[in-house]
Amino acid sequence: MAQAALAPGAGTRHTRPPNLFDERTHAIARWAVPAVLGLVYGFWAAANQRHGGPITGWNLLFGWVTALVFMLAMVGVLYLAPRLRRELHALLWGAFTGTAVGFLYAQTGDSHFTAIFIGLGCAALIGLSVFYWAYTHEDAAGHHI
């Protein structure tokens, strides 16, 4: 069966998808997403550290400090990563994710070597995934398509 050929130049125009949210929504999301993820991360780290035991004041303090550090680190990564070349962009996201996962696993009380290897594995997977995404969404000069 024959297929119709595309006209010259057809299908080569790159258009951006429509923006469904206004600038105010994006501005709120830039702070709300790291805040919510930080609270979830802090709760998760505190729960891992107490091993199912009672909630204490030190455990609450640990959770809040962990949440704050995670939020600040994520805001820093979200601010800095788009300004970097794709290799450093991927390296930064991989390092952030690997550190976060390794720290969570270290709070369970298992071997620190296991936490390091799990963190390195997650860092490699996320770093390669972000590099692939950036590589397929940029031109040769590194400009976002």
- Per residue in 23-44, pLDDT tens? 888 889 889 999 999 999 999 9
Rounded CA-CA distance 16/64 in Å is 39
Please name which of 67, 88, 66 lies closest in space to residue 77, comparing C-alpha atoms: 88
Rounded CA-CA distance 77/80 in Å is 5
Please name which of 77, 70, 87 lies closest in space to residue 35, comparing C-alpha atoms: 70
Rounded CA-CA distance 1/114 in Å is 57
Judge whether 42 and 63 are in contact, CB under 8 Å.
Answer: yes
Model confidence band, residue 139 (pLDDT cutoffs 50, 70, 90): confident
Domain boundaries, the chain: 29-83, 86-138
Q: What's the pTM?
A: 0.79
Give the phi and the psi of residue 142 in degrees, each rounded to 5. Answer: 90, 10
- Per residue in 67-104, pLDDT tens? 999 999 999 999 998 888 888 999 999 999 999 999 99
